[in-house]
Chains A and B, each alone.
Chain A
Amino acid sequence: MNIITGNDLKTGDVIWWTGLDWSRFVKDATDVGDHGEAILHREEAARRVNAPYIIDAELTDDGPRPGHIKDRVRALGPTVRPDLTLKPADPDAGEWVI
């Protein structure tokens, strides 16, 4: 599947395109098929996202899992600071990245 990610313009937070809006959580990301380019141009022009790009992801039971480790780190947060990730209560969350 193809999903879109980028950063929030004001805060810099990593965000994912849900089909209607942007979410902090990759599990909310939606498959954009071949329409990614049009969506990211529209959203970037509207300043709802900064520096967006399309990535490959695999659909798993937990939702989309980005194909490249770099995007999995972006999706979770720094693996060396579990307290700063999006799953601070799960000390093993970093395993999902690897």
Chain B
Amino acid sequence: MYQYDQYDQKMVDTRVEEFRDQVKRRLAGDLTEDQFKPLRLMNGLYLQLHAYMLRVAIPYGTLNGKQMRMLGHIARKYDRDYGHFTTRQNIQYNWIKLEEAPDLLAELASVEMHAIQTSGNCIRNISSDQFAGATADEIADPRPWAELLRQWSSFHPEFSYLPRKFKFAVIASDTDRAAMRLHDIGIQLVHNDAGELGAKFFVGGGMGRTPMIAPEIRDFVPADELISYAEACLRVYNRYGRRDNKYKARIKILVHELGAEEYTRQVEEEFAHMKELGLNPPVEELARITEFFADPAYDEQASDELDLSDPDFALWVDQNVSAHKQSGYAIATISLKPRGGIPGDASSAQIDLMADLAEQYSFDELRVTHSQNIVLPYVKKSDLYALWQKLDEAGLAPANLDLITDSIACPGLDYCSLANARSIPLAQKISERFSDLGRQRELGELKLKISGCINACGHHHAGHIGILGVDRKGTENYQLLLGGSGAEDASLAKITGPGFTEDGVIDAIETVTDLYLAQREKGERFIDTYRRVGMEKFKEAIYG
């Protein structure tokens, strides 16, 4: 994986010292909160419901054991012994003290990590496929491109004050594991007819109060012009994106209002201008970056055989282990969704253990997924049983990947000052109601996503079943949505009808899943049956 050079390290170290001075001035009264707030937000420090919250960037969700162990250390030393892995492949700490934040950031910097650009109207952490570099279904490794985008977008002077925040995703497979088309810019690496590598650009997707699936605006941008094309997309947005209304400021609104065709025309015009300027990054830099993402030293003799005589292990393998491009190896996903647990939360001890296991079994590498799980991307099949046993001892082996209890949930009203309703208790109760693994597997792939407000951090628009918490005259109320997908078959979920109480929405989910089981045809997932049968039938079952 990528390692900082002297410039990366200097930038991060310098920022820590700058922030240390800003905190000092704030505590001394030389800065008001109005003056200080944008400065702390630029360093990922929010003031949330109970305390300061720090969001740490994990570029394209990738980190090594040392970095993971540092996250555990921070949970222990500066927080309350746990962290929360987010739907942006980052980690958040909920109980940070302002006076300790500079020391915390200095410790993070010591392992090449930071919290820069995890807030504010700038280009946020680049997200990517958690199976990058390990899966057989990709045409190239998206990580060098994600890293190039990270370097290009870090402290980019032109894009530090965009009309609104901006999110990229880069994938290189027809299977979309990163909700790519629900990003401001989604990039899919592709080959053209001549076999050359390039990128397909999708611009103007997103969730929030106005969910949209990004339209494709260019089917092929040559690889060496990818950054310039992204820059052209940003320039048009920066020039014409609305700054007068926060709720209409995202690029999706601009693309929608201009129309994808007109937006594309303007981007192409800008791109032609950019080409004249010759701003593509040097080929040598991409080559330098790519070297960091070379395959690990696989054991070419590793066996594909697996002893599945332990039934619990066999279930875990069937559900949580994915095919690898290298024979004798597998991709293992650690579910952070134990029965009745808090989606995405991990204790410092669990974080430490995952760091140890990555070092021992996965060439020192982990990935955070947007579904709030952790991936060990390079596990030798012959090590899977030992790995599973250690995970199981630590409560990290739920065999529920992509099942109904593998839900995404935002922090909701338990932690977030923007939320209208609590998300986590709902996820916990659903986890309990559907705890029987046989029943979950009978239901099959079912993406359940819960948001505590319209900002949609819990991706409810992209859930096969989505839940949106709202405030109904001071009481928590939950709207049920059906039919969304963040995958390659991207679609936006629709609201079924009037909202429910917490218990009511869980009953409604049960009604919906019962109907699916009764109606499904061979091989159909929940989303397939929903699309074939249509909303009306589900509404009828729910509301009578």
- Over the window 54-78 of chain A, the binary record of Cβ atoms lying under 8 Å from chain B Cβ atoms (1 yes, 0 no) is 0000000000000111100110011
Assess whether A79 is in contact with B425, with CB atoms less than 8 Å apart. Answer: yes
Which of B167-175, B179-187, B229-237, B411-419 faces chain A?
B411-419
Q: How far is the CA of A80 from the CA of B429 in the complex (A)?
A: 11
Assess whether B424 is in contact with A80, with CB atoms less than 8 Å apart. Answer: yes
Assess whether B50 is in contact with A14, with CB atoms less than 8 Å apart. Answer: yes
Secondary structure class of chain A's binding surface, majority of residues: loop
- Number of chain B residues close to chain A: CB under 8 A: 30
Instruction: Tell me the nearest residue of chain A to B28, going by C-beta.
Output: A47
Assess whether A70 is in contact with B417, with CB atoms less than 8 Å apart. Answer: yes
Residues in A with CB closer than 8 Å to B26 are 9
Residues in B with CB closer than 8 Å to A80 are 342, 414, 422, 424-425, 428
Assess whether B422 is in contact with A79, with CB atoms less than 8 Å apart. Answer: yes
Q: How far is the CA of A79 from the CA of B51 in the complex (A)?
A: 15
Q: Would you call B17 an interface residue if the criterion is a C-beta within 8 Å of the partner chain's C-beta atoms?
A: no
Residues in A with CB closer than 8 Å to B94 are 78
Assess whether B414 is in contact with A73, with CB atoms less than 8 Å apart. Answer: yes
Q: How far is the CA of A67 from the CA of B94 in the complex (A)?
A: 24
Q: How far is the CA of A67 from the CA of B474 in the complex (A)?
A: 8
Mark out the residues of chain B between 410 and 468 whose CB falls within 8 Å of any chain A CB in the assembled complex.
413-415, 417, 419, 422, 424-425, 428
Q: Would you call B288 an interface residue if the criterion is a C-beta within 8 Å of the partner chain's C-beta atoms?
A: no
Q: Would you call B481 an interface residue if the criterion is a C-beta within 8 Å of the partner chain's C-beta atoms?
A: no
How many residues of A sit at the interface, in one of the four size bands? Answer: 20 to 34
Which of B5-13, B95-103, B520-528 faces chain A?
B95-103
Contact status of A12 and B414, CB under 8 A, knowing A7-B47, A50-B47: no
Residues in B with CB closer than 8 Å to A12 are 47, 50-52, 95-98
Mark out the residues of chain A between 20 and 79 whose CB falls within 8 Å of any chain B CB in the assembled complex.
44, 47, 50-51, 67-70, 73-74, 77-79
- Over the window 1-14 of chain A, the binary record of Cβ atoms lying under 8 Å from chain B Cβ atoms (1 yes, 0 no) is 00000010111111
For A73, give its contact among B51, B80, B99, B413 (CB under 8 Å): B413
Instruction: Tell me the nearest residue of chain B to A47, going by C-beta.
Output: B29
Q: How far is the CA of A50 from the CA of B46 in the complex (A)?
A: 13
Mark out the residues of chain B between 39 and 80 whose CB falls within 8 Å of any chain A CB in the assembled complex.
47, 49-52, 80
A7, A77, A80, most chain B CB atoms within 10 A: A80
Q: How far is the CA of A7 from the CA of B97 in the complex (A)?
A: 11
A9, A70, A77, most chain B CB atoms within 10 A: A70
- Over the window 502-516 of chain B, the binary record of Cβ atoms lying under 8 Å from chain A Cβ atoms (1 yes, 0 no) is 000000000000000
Assess whether A10 is in contact with B428, with CB atoms less than 8 Å apart. Answer: no
Instruction: Tell me the nearest residue of chain B to A46, going by C-beta.
Output: B29
Residues in B with CB closer than 8 Å to A7 are 47, 51
Contact status of A11 and B474, CB under 8 A, knowing A70-B49, A73-B414, A79-B425: no
Which of A's residues lie within 8 Å of B, judged by CB?
A: 7, 9-14, 44, 47, 50-51, 67-70, 73-74, 77-81, 84, 98
Known: A14-B49, A80-B425. 16 other contacts (CB 8 A): A7-B51, A9-B26, A9-B98, A11-B97, A11-B98, A12-B52, A12-B98, A13-B51, A47-B27, A69-B475, A70-B49, A73-B422, A78-B50, A78-B414, A79-B414, A81-B414
Which of B's residues lie within 8 Å of A, judged by CB?
A: 26-27, 29, 33, 47, 49-52, 80, 94-99, 342, 413-415, 417, 419, 422, 424-425, 428, 471, 474-476
Q: Enumerate the 9 nearest inter-chain pairs by beta-carbon distance, A residue then B residue, closest first.
A: A12-B51, A12-B52, A78-B414, A80-B424, A10-B99, A11-B97, A80-B414, A47-B29, A74-B49
